[in-house]
Amino acid sequence: MTIKNIAIPVFLRLFTGCMLQFLPYSVLCMLPFRGSFRHSDKKTGILTVLLTGTVCCCFGIIGSLIASCIPDSQALYQLVNIAFMAGVIPCLAWYIYEVRAAWQKKLFLFSFSLTSALLITSVSNSVVTWYYAGKPYEYLPYYGIYNLLNLTVTAVFLPMLWLILKKWFLPVSEGLSNRETGYLSVLSLLLFLLLSSGLAFIDYSYLLKNPMALFLYGAVILLVFLVYAIAFYLYRLAHERNQFQLKNLRMEQQLVLRDEQYRRIHDSIEINRQLRHDLRHHMLTLRGYLQSGETGQAEEYLSAYLEKADRYEIRKLCHDPVVNMVVSHYLDIAAQQDIRFTTRIDLPDELPVAAPDLSVLLGNMLENAITAAARAQGSNRFIRFHMLCSGKMLALTCDNGFDGAIRMKGDQYLSTREGHTGLGLKSLHFIAEKYDGGVEFTHEGNVFHTSVMLLTPENVR
């Protein structure tokens, strides 16, 4: 076989048909990962189109060569389909390389897109075979009205497939662990391999003449939809489980903060009662130092007394009691662990953010900062916390030193604490989304940066 065996009309037919099958589903499996590519979205799109065009061009050449050597028969159809399936391999390799995400999630979306394309192609083949029943027909793929029919069916079903992913997969994709997503991705891949091994060699003319074969064919297609319905149902259950865990975590944090507040109030009452009781003795001691001319001793004694009196006071950093209580709590913890903690808080008298949300948000941010800074050494043991409100935008930023250890999954940061699942970080995202805001984590050297932006409309409860 040489290049002379290639018929231009056959090549164009195969190239066009391949592009109409590959390109839409490349978009389908890439779309959920916008912003998570190794290159910019635009460059990734261009490279993907170029790769797809190259694969389709190779398929057109190989298919034309096969058609020049094999007579028009079911064998020709099967060999060309094998060449088509081989073109999937470089596309998968590119997809795995280019997308920055867990391989389990990538494999599931890729196999879902392949299976969808396979089913639509199979249905189109059935319709074309029925349409040309009793008329001249070729076994070489993409004959006659096939490309137009496949383009129409794809235009109808591709938006529906994207809506399924957008509604049933993307909102809950973080609810499954990598292991659980791996099980579903392997199941999806096996489903595609079984279907492709069967549908690639099926004789549609025989299928349409045999009612039992046609019934089994329809049953297989329905079974595929059933399997994916179960898979997405499991995703939804995992999402609900994740939300339940977040809710419990928030409740636990609120209880901890409430208990801490009660303890502080109780300690403050007790220490004030003790100070009032001992005030006369302190005054007598101070008078004794002054009468003896020991002003230095009197000053040291007074400083120690004031430090003890202030130790259990909740600092008034702003007009919001939740902010005062939570930030004061972590200021004391930082002082006990020799961590430099500086704050800048500029808030209005009334902050339209629900107290439970605010306490969990502050608690998670500052607890993570304290934990990280405590592991740092020397000048890296610091925390800088800013909380500012401008118009309807509330901004919280926290810079803290850390020991440089980072755990990531794709572009997401994970908790480095032993036995922690990262629900605290997810809780930050959950609260930010509730207020139409966002969360950003970055690090540079041994400094970790957390920023949270919230919209604070007047009707927030």
The edge-to-edge listing of strands for the beta sheet with 382-390 is 340-346, 382-390, 393-401, 447-455, 438-444
Among 439, 323, 337, 427, residue whose Cα is nearest residue 385? 323
- What phi and psi, each to the nearest 5 degrees, are found at residue 386? -120, 140
CATH superfamily of domain region 317-455: Histidine kinase-like ATPase, C-terminal domain (3.30.565.10)
Count the helix, strand and coil residues of the chain and give each as a percent rounded to the nearest 5.
70, 10, 20
Which pLDDT does position 387 carry in this prediction? Answer: 92
Which pLDDT does position 341 carry in this prediction? Answer: 93
Which pLDDT does position 434 carry in this prediction? Answer: 84
pLDDT tens sequence across 72-128: 777 888 888 888 888 889 998 999 999 888 888 888 888 888 888 888 888 887 888
Contact indicator for 398, 365 with CB cutoff of 8 Å: yes
| Regions in the chain scoring below 50 on pLDDT | 1-5, 419, 421, 459-461
User: How many residues appear in the chain?
Assistant: 461
| pTM for this prediction | 0.56
- Domain ranges for the chain, please list them: 3-209, 317-455
Beta bridge partners of 345: 387
Which pLDDT does position 2 carry in this prediction? Answer: 42
Which pLDDT does position 4 carry in this prediction? Answer: 45
